[in-house]
């Protein structure tokens, strides 16, 4: 039986977007010295607000504010810092609907994801690290904070990446200067208001908006003690070079090209759901996305038929509609990159398939796309597409699966689908990936460390391990 589709839009009225936003420095919103830029809704191309650009001088003011606040913040007992973090976590929960709607409007991601995945995880990160603030002596990394952390984050999970960066930094007694991505600054600025609401001492959190140059000014500032970056491997390389020879501690969370490996004994219906979550969640704008499906040859035909049936049921469109599975691509630049790489897939001889799927006239959209007949040398098997595009390869033996999965410059994540626990463990011990999911994919938890091997970066975020990046080594 086919049901009529009835739209179920979330109300936009729960958010109050101001016409313009300043920088958040020393507990106050102030003007930026650079030329302001516009942030748009990628689903409609409508301008949402004008946002200040922080110049080097503005970044310097923010770092000075953070340095001054460090004296106060680091001197507080851990139990006092915890109170602020718990308070922030509770306000995030109270204002979750507003934050989720704003995230979907500025980023393009479906409200179902911002509401049910991003926001609960954001609050959970603050709760989790609030719990560590007065127990650092048991974590095994010492108890001395580093100082001022310069943090630069991407546009794919704007508020969640902010939480991954700010919560552990503050729990350990550091202060921060954070730069959100140019295309998604709004939830970070609402978070600044939450810091005010929580009475966080001025200067503990500073938010500076702007483009790449602002990010470069943050990481390059001589009075920053710690650099934390999530984004492309290309910019990660630039940052690693810029901090080489300094005493700055660095963590880099970069790109990925994860293998999602399905054996012939796997529960196929579950595997199909895991493949869909692996690559079509958040339009594939996920560094650990399962963008390479490795399927055992004997079940490839059956699995592909099932996957195509499932993809034909996905609903693409208005991110604020609660029925939407696939939202808008975050920017025109990202859409151009996805198109270029997908065209190269066809050009190099892979076979392209998408379900019948009408794309809205306005905004940036790309249909869920699957490439079969992909070989390891194709660009779509090697480069991070960062979009809703799956490259399918086959294998015959577990050893071949490991060989192909590891044949990438990246090493962030992997997934294995099999009924046999012994095979799972055999695979996990051989896969060069920071996270290996077993019969699931894209599952996140604040208690679990996350990070990469090889060109996916270094350092871990999340869990007890995530504290290490924000504490002085025990000498």
Distance CA(378)–CA(314), nearest Å, equals 27
- 171 versus 288: smaller Cβ distance to ligand NDP: 288
**Nearest-approach distance from CB 277 to ligand NDP, in angstroms:** 17
Given the residues 287, 288, 384, 455, select the one marked as catalytic: 287
Three-state DSSP string of 232-279? CHHHHHHHHHHHCCCCCEEEEECCCCCEEEECCCCCHHHHHHHHHHHH
379 binds ligand NDP (CB under 6 A): no
- φ/ψ (deg, to 5) at 93: -65, -45
Query: Counting contacts by CB under 6 A, is residue 411 touching ligand NDP?
Result: no
Considering beta carbons, is residue 34 or 463 the nearer one to ligand NDP?
Answer: 34
Binder among 88, 200, 287, 381 for ligand NDP (CB under 6 A): 287
Residue 374 in contact with ligand NDP, rule: CB under 6 A: no
Q: Please report how close the Cβ of residue 218 comes to ligand NDP at its closest, in angstroms.
A: 7
Residues 168-187 within binding reach of ligand NDP (CB under 6 A): 179, 181-182
Q: Which is nearer to ligand NDP, 207 or 402 (CB)?
A: 207
Q: How far is the CB of 331 from ligand NDP (least distance, A)?
A: 8
Contact region with ligand NDP (CB under 6 A), list: 136-144, 162-170, 213-221, 419-427: 213-221
Give the shortest CB-106-to-ligand NDP separation in angstroms. 12
Q: Which of 172, 202, 211, 207 is nearest to 191 (CA)?
A: 207
- 302 assigned to active site: no
326 DSSP assignment: B
Q: Give CA separation, 367 vs 21, 276, 339, 390, in Å.
A: 33, 13, 11, 11
Collapsing DSSP to helix, strand or coil, 195 comes out as helix
Q: How far is CA 22 from CA 9, 16, 104, 158, 202, in A?
A: 30, 16, 21, 18, 16
Contact pattern for ligand NDP over residues 255 through 274, marking x by CB under 6 A:
x-------------------
Token representation of residue 101: 């709607």
282 — alpha (psi -120 to 50), left (phi > 0) or beta?
left
Distances (CA, A) of 362 to 32, 41, 139, 329, 365: 31, 10, 50, 12, 9
149: contact with ligand NDP by CB under 6 A? no
Q: Which residues contact 376 (CB under 8 A, 6 or more apart)?
A: 382, 393, 404, 407
Of 32, 154, 434, 463, the one binding ligand NDP (CB under 6 A) is 154
The least distance separating ligand NDP from the CB of residue 33, rounded to whole angstroms, comes to: 17
253 is catalytic: yes
For residue 89, what are the CA distances in angstroms to 130, 253, 280? 9, 24, 29
Answer for the pair 372, 421: CB distance below 8 angstroms, yes or no. no
| Shortest Å distance, C-beta 156 to ligand NDP | 5
Nearest position to ligand NDP, beta carbon: 215
Q: Does 381 participate in binding ligand NDP (rule CB under 6 A)?
A: no
Shortest Cβ distance from residue 397 to ligand NDP (Å)?
31
Task: With contacts defined by CB under 6 A, name the span among 63-71, 89-97, 234-242, 464-472 that binds ligand NDP.
Answer: 234-242
Radius of gyration of the chain (CA): 22
Please report, as ranges, the residues that interact with ligand NDP according to CB under 6 A: 152-156, 179, 181-182, 211-212, 215-216, 219, 230-232, 235, 238-239, 254-255, 287, 334, 337, 384, 386
Q: Which residues belong to the active site?
A: 253, 287
């Amino acid at each position: 039986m086919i049901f009529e589709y009835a739209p179920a839009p979330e109300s936009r009225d729960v958010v109050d977007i101001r016409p313009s936003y300043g920088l958040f420095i020393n507990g106050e919103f102030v003007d930026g010295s650079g030329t302001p830029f516009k942030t748009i809704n990628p689903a409609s191309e409508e301008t949402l607000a004008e946002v200040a650009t922080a110049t080097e001088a503005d970044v310097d003011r923010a770092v000075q504010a953070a340095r001054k606040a460090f004296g106060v913040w680091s001197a507080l007992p851990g139990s006092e810092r915890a109170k602020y973090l718990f308070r922030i976590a509770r306000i995030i929960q109270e204002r979750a609907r507003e934050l989720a709607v704003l995230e979907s409007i500025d980023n393009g991601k479906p409200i179902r994801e911002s509401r049910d995945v991003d926001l609960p995880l954001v609050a959970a990160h603050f709760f989790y690290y609030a719990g560590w603030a007065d127990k650092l002596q048991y974590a095994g990394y010492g108890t001395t904070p580093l100082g001022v952390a310069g943090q630069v984050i991407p546009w794919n999970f704007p508020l969640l990446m902010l939480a991954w960066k700010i919560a552990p930094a503050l729990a350990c007694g550091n202060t921060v200067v954070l730069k959100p991505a140019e295309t998604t600054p709004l939830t970070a600025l609402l978070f600044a208001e939450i810091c005010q609401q929580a009475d966080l001492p001025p200067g503990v959190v500073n938010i500076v908006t702007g483009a790449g140059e602002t990010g470069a000014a943050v990481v390059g500032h001589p009075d920053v003690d710690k650099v934390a970056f999530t984004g492309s491997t290309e910019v990660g390389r630039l940052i690693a070079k810029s901090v080489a020879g300094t005493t700055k501690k660095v963590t880099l969370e970069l790109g990925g090209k994860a293998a999602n490996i399905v054996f012939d004994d796997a529960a196929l219906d579950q595997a199909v759901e895991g493949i869909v979550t692996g690559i079509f969640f958040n339009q594939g704008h996920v560094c650990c996305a399962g963008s390479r499906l490795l399927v055992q040859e004997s079940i490839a035909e059956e699995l592909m038929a099932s996957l195509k049936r499932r993809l034909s049921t996905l609903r693409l469109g208005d991110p604020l509609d609660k029925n939407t599975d696939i939202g808008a691509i975050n920017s025109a630049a990202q859409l151009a990159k996805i198109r270029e790489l997908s065209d190269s897939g066809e050009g190099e001889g892979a076979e392209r398939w998408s379900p019948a799927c009408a794309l809205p006239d306005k905004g940036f959209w790309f249909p869920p796309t699957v490439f079969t007949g992909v070989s390891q040398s194709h660009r779509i098997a090697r480069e991070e597409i960062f979009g809703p595009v799956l490259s399918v390869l086959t294998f015959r033996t577990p050893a071949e699966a490991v060989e192909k999965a590891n044949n990438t410059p990246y090493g962030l994540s992997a997934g294995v689908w099999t009924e046999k626990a012994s095979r799972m463990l055999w695979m996990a011990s051989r896969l060069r990936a920071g996270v290996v999911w077993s019969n699931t994919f894209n599952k996140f938890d604040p208690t679990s460390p996350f990070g990469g091997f090889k060109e996916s970066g270094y350092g871990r975020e999340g869990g007890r391990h995530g504290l290490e990046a924000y504490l002085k080594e025990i000498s």
